[in-house]
Structure formats: structure tokens, C-alpha cells
Amino acid sequence: MRRQRQAKIVATLGPASASRQMIQALFEAGADVFRFNFSHGTHADHQARYQIVREVEREVGRPIAVLADLQGPKLRIGQFADGKVTLLQGQTFTLDRDATPGDGSRVCLPHPELFEAIAAGQSLLLDDGKLRLQVEYSDGARIRTRVVNAGVLSDRKGVNVPDAVLPIPALTEKDRRDLAFALDMGADWIALSFVQRPEDVFEARGLIGNRAAVLSKLEKPAALDRLDEIVQASDAIMVARGDLGVELPPERVPGTQKRILRTCRQHGKPIVIATQMLESMITAPVPTRAEVSDVASAIYDGSDAVMLSAESANGSYPLQAVTMMDRVIAEVERDPLYRNMIDAQHEVPQPNRSDAICSALRDVAGIVGATTTVTYTSSGHTSLRAARERPMAPILSITPQLATARRLALVWGVHSTISDQIHNESEMVSAACQTALKEGFAKKGDQIAITAGMPFGQPGSTNLLRLAEVWG
């Protein structure tokens, strides 16, 4: 099954998409990656859905990626004696370490590390930014604030701290348990929530090793101060606009998204744009025009993938949401302006052998009118560098590693296939031609451009470029 588009779709699984019938329908409608959200559901729920995804993968004969999204260190207040309180503008409100149920003047904040990080003049955002508190002082046991934006505050609402780098671990104890389970289950990508610094990525990678690729979710302003380092340390990036949109002023989110996207393109790291892309389709069978424009803008900007969250996990129209996203991507990519914009954003190749070869691959394929660019890869490196170039011709990736093929399902323009290990250039050309024919990327007499690394099977050794005519 070949997608008639280059950008990919990530669909979150949940109660609305737990059945074999729905998961297969979502894949056939366009989902390339399935996200398992470990903020919700049990391990048994995730295991059951994982087994279904792998059954669908075997049936359709195409690699499918599984993304395990860890909850991360989500900060929450405690409980109130009456379940909720109303805070008035200008009143004082205290957060403390006393576990006693709160009232209209105070509530417990069960995160001791926060008390040392907070300083006077900083802001606390509660309930996804609906309420804003201005910090007046913190003495290590209490944080006294003044209410700036009033409203109703209820039990266990989230707390965002936009003005500070918090000394909290990137992985909570829950995350560590979920990570061990996700790796044993067979997840291809691990998403780290609330990444603030590259050290957060290094910590996770030390636990993950080579068992999965690491995707860093950028949802805190502090991460922007070390953006280049975080991108370089990660295998992929997600612009998680939910919490990011809470902690940043809304008008800054679009520009920040573009900055992150440009940095990922420079380093050749896949980027996923997420959160509220087709939000209204949780309850409606069609999206708003603004939502369609949002998805389209992400594609025009060159994103590798766009993601559905609640729309496919617990919405009323999961299949329609995936179908709509597929239609929007395909429509954008048919627009001549899209190609003009992609070419205008083309990054200068980095001074290394892989980028030199893949840049030449893009140019040569365009000159001779190659119907596809074929990449032989063991680790996925060659296909990733080819995708960075955003060639006109689709990228047919051939690998002997199933894990590599699955991970590449997230990457722009890459159609992954599995093959036996090749041993010489003659076998490479033959396998490339036959695979291009079989997968529908070429017909007899077409030109294809091939790149690989020699010796074959050695990761990161891209050094060969070859043109070939397909024979039937």
C-alpha cells in the first residue's frame, strides 16, 4: 500500500479507536504512526492495542510505527474541602506543603522542588492557563500569590510555571515503569514530555539504548533557550502546542513553531506538529476552516508529520478525522506553491559525506527525471539525510531491519520496505529496480536514483550514488 503524499499522519489510539476494525480502518484512511498515550489507560489496554497494530501490519505488509508517549512530570495542586473554590481578582492565595484540603485562601502544592525554584514576580498558571497567579514571595514552605486572572479552581488542576527552569526529573517513577513496559512491548519511538534541557534527553537515552528512537516534546519555554542542543540530542521533535500554548502568550506560538521547525530542518531531524489540529472533530464530523488552514500551514512549512490527539482517541469521528487530515495533506502537496515553498526552504547541506551524496541525489534525480530515489539503509541514517533534502521524487527506503523500517514511518517522503541483506552493487541495483516495480514507484524503462553506504550494512557510511534504468 503506497501513500500518495509525503507528510505523515500520527493518530492517537484510545477508547474510540481500540477495536481491530477501527485500527485497521484508521491505517487504511492514512494513519502512518499510532500514538499510545501513557497519561491514560492501563498497560493491559496498551498491550491489547499494540497486538492489534502488529496484526494489521502483518496483514497489510507495510511497517507501522508505534509511538509511546510518556506522561512526564505534570504538576498539579491538591484537593479542596468542597471540591472547588472561586478566586477573585486581586485577592491573595497561598500554595503550601500542607496536605490538608484547601479553601478559598490556600491549597496544597505537593511538589517540594517547586518552592525553591519560584521567585517573586514570576507567574503560576492554573487549569491550562485559565487562572494566573503573580508570585509575591516564597519562603520554601509557602508561595504567596496574588490573583491576576480570576475564576473557579477545582481539585487536581495542572500548574504551569512559564518563567523558571524547574529542578524536576525528566522521568517520574511512573514514567520509568511505563518506559520499561513500552520497550518490552516493542514501541518504536519514545516521546519524552516537558523536555527542558538536553540532559533530559541524555537521561532517557541512557535507559532506552538502541531499543527505540527518542522524540522530545517541546512544551516549555525553557526548552527554547537550548533548542539547538535539544534537537541535536533527539531523534525527532514534537511541537506540543497544548502546554506550550499555555506557558507562552498565544500570539508567540506560531512564530515559535516555525523557529523549531526551521531548526529541525537544519539538523535533519523529523518534526511532528501536534495538539488541537482538528479539535472540533472531537464532536463534529467536519472541521472548522481555521483548523484546516492550521494543518495546511504545517504542511506548507515542511513538517514531517501532523498529529491527532483526542480527535482519534476518544472523539466521535476518529475515522473522519484521519480521512480529513489525509485529504488536506494531499491537496496541499498538489499545489505548485507547495513545491516552491519547500524548495525555498531548502537547507544548505552540512559538510559531511552523507549530506554531499544526498544533496547530489536530489539534484541528479531532478535532472534525469527519476521517478523515485532509492535509499539502502541499515540504521535509517541514509533515508533521514535523503528526507532532509526534500527531493521531488519519493524516497523508497530499503532496509533489512524491521525496527528501522518502522521508525522511518514517521519521516517525510519515506516509503519503507524490508529486504534481505545485499552484498554487492549488482545485487543493490537489481533489488532497487524490482522493489520500485513491486511497490508501484516505477515501471519498465523509468530512471531511478540509488544511494547507499559501502561496505553494505555499516551505519552512517553513505558514500555511493548510482543511476539505473528499471527493467521488467
Question: How far is it, in rounded angstroms, from Cα 166 to Cα 109?
Answer: 14
- Verify whether residue 407 is a known catalytic residue: no
Got the DSSP string for 272-341?
Answer: EEESSTTGGGGT-SS--HHHHHHHHHHHHTT-SEEEESHHHHT-S-HHHHHHHHHHHHHHHHHSHHHHHH
Beta-strand relationship, 106-108 and 213-218 = unpaired
Q: Count CB neighbours of 250 within 10 A.
A: 10
Tracing cell 516555525 back to the chain, one arrives at: 258
Question: How far is it, in rounded angstroms, from Cα 457 to Cα 373?
Answer: 19
- Verify whether residue 54 is a known catalytic residue: no
User: Is the Cβ–Cβ distance between 48 and 18 less than 8 Å?
Assistant: yes
Dihedral of alpha carbons 189, 194, 195, 201, sign:
negative
Catalytic residue, chosen from 132, 197, 217, 220, is 217
Burial (Cβ within 10 Å: 0-12, 13-18, ≥19) of residue 370 = buried
User: Is the Cβ–Cβ distance between 176 and 54 less than 8 Å?
Assistant: no
- Verify whether residue 258 is a known catalytic residue: no
Question: How far is it, in rounded angstroms, from Cα 214 to Cα 133?
Answer: 34
Rg (CA), the chain: 24
Q: Count CB neighbours of 265 within 10 A.
A: 22
Beta-strand relationship, 159-160 and 414-418 = unpaired
Helix (H, G, I), strand (E, B) or coil at 395: strand
The strand pairing partners of 33, in sequence order, are: 10, 65
Catalytic residue, chosen from 76, 146, 327, 466, is 76
CA distances, 227 to each of 127, 284, 341, 356, 430 (Å): 27, 36, 24, 25, 43
Question: How far is it, in rounded angstroms, from Cα 285 to Cα 264?
Answer: 33
The strand pairing partners of 432, in sequence order, are: none
Angle formed at CA 360 by CA 359 and CA 365, multiple of 5 degrees: 105
Catalytic residue, chosen from 145, 256, 275, 399, is 275
Write out the three cell numbers for 336.
Answer: 505548485
Q: Count CB neighbours of 31 within 10 A.
A: 31
User: Is the Cβ–Cβ distance between 38 and 46 less than 8 Å?
Assistant: yes
Catalytic residue, chosen from 8, 35, 406, 407, is 35
- Verify whether residue 35 is a known catalytic residue: yes
Q: Hey, which residues are catalytic here?
A: 35, 76, 217, 275
